[in-house]
Structure 1
Amino acid sequence: MSRRSLRTLLAAGGAAAVMALLPTSAQAAPYSGGNYGAYGNEGQYPTTTYCSGTFRQIGATKYAEGMALKYFYSDKCGSFARIENSRPGCVAVLHRSNNGVGRVDGWVSESVDPGITYAYTQMGNNLHGRVSRAVLSCDGHDLTETGWY
């Protein structure tokens, strides 16, 4: 059975995310853009053996429409975004900047699977002077975001 999933596309210079509908299989899938994947650990999930158990939540949980957005960081592996209590049509997004300026150079997103209420992204490498932030986006609109870390 197929469904429609959301993919986040970023405008140049880190402007607001624009959502586009794409047909996908029944399972949520990561989408990415910019230069995501250029650094070590990008494209991997935080559950990989090398990184498992090294993450801690940074900053306060952000809320929008009863949904939660969390940002996790590991000084060994990088960071990832997680959304909880989510409705369908929402995605967890991780923006990554090549430097400490906080300009989006790469991003990865993950949609919520049917029948569950959470999603988490693959890792972004915000080590060695790079920074990242988490975003909760639903139906084409960014609802909340964390600071850059």
Structure 2
Amino acid sequence: MSRRSLRTLLAAGGAAAVLALLPASAVAAPYSGGNYGAYSMEGQYPTISSCSGTFRQVGGTKYADGMALKYFYSDKCGSFARIENSRSNCAAVLERSNNGTGRADGWVSETVDPGINYAYTKIGNNLNGRVSRAMLTCDGHIMATTAWY
């Protein structure tokens, strides 16, 4: 697929559409699209020292086929998605809306690394009126999603 058609797909369909383009074998890698990276903390993992220990799980754990999806939030840093007990070809996805409407305009995902069964995304900045949600996707399909927070 050419760069131009991939950009068109991302603009038209967002995170869910690009999931079908992820590699068939699970190799841990972050992907992002839309205007992800436009706000502070985006592009950083939640383990950075300034954010470490500030996150708490919000909402209940969502399950699909024995896999778990969790959403974490910090009023200092933003949010991230984590999947656990995952099979290969799955990804944790965090969608972020810049105006609080619950319509994704930026997203980041992380695939499951070979040999482990979890993944977590980089931070999405859902502070100052922005909202985000987490998704568990496998083989290009949304398996579970959280509410917008």
> TM-score range, shorter-chain basis?
0.7 to 0.9
Q: Normalising by structure 2, what TM-score? A: 0.87
Distance apart, 1:28 and its partner CA: 1.0
Tell me the equivalent position of 1:34.
34
Distance apart, 1:100 and its partner CA: 1.0
1:86 and 1:110 map into 2 onto residues whose CA distance is 12
2:124 and 2:54 map into 1 onto residues whose CA distance is 14
Distance apart, 1:17 and its partner CA: 3.4
The sequence identity of aligned pairs, in percent, is: 77
1:95 and 1:75 map into 2 onto residues whose CA distance is 17
Note if contact 2:22-2:140 (Cα within 8 Å) is conserved in structure 1. no
**Per the alignment, do residues 54 and 28 of structure 1 end up closer, same or farther by CA in structure 2, a change over 3 Å counting?**
same
Gaps of 5+ in 2: 1-8
Tell me the equivalent position of 1:4.
none
- Aligned residue for 2:101, secondary structure, equals coil
1:98 and 1:134 map into 2 onto residues whose CA distance is 15
Tell me the equivalent position of 2:100.
100
Larger helix fraction of residues = 2
Tell me the equivalent position of 2:61.
61
Note if contact 1:92-1:136 (Cα within 8 Å) is conserved in structure 2. yes
Note if contact 1:79-1:125 (Cα within 8 Å) is conserved in structure 2. yes
2:60 and 2:39 map into 1 onto residues whose CA distance is 27
Detail structure 1 runs of 4+ shifted over 3 Å in the superposition: 9-18, 21-24
Matched, 1:50 2:58: no
1:125 and 1:78 map into 2 onto residues whose CA distance is 4
Distance apart, 1:23 and its partner CA: 8.3
Note if contact 2:62-2:144 (Cα within 8 Å) is conserved in structure 1. yes
2:48 and 2:141 map into 1 onto residues whose CA distance is 31
Note if contact 1:13-1:103 (Cα within 8 Å) is conserved in structure 2. no
The aligned length equals 140
2:65 and 2:78 map into 1 onto residues whose CA distance is 28
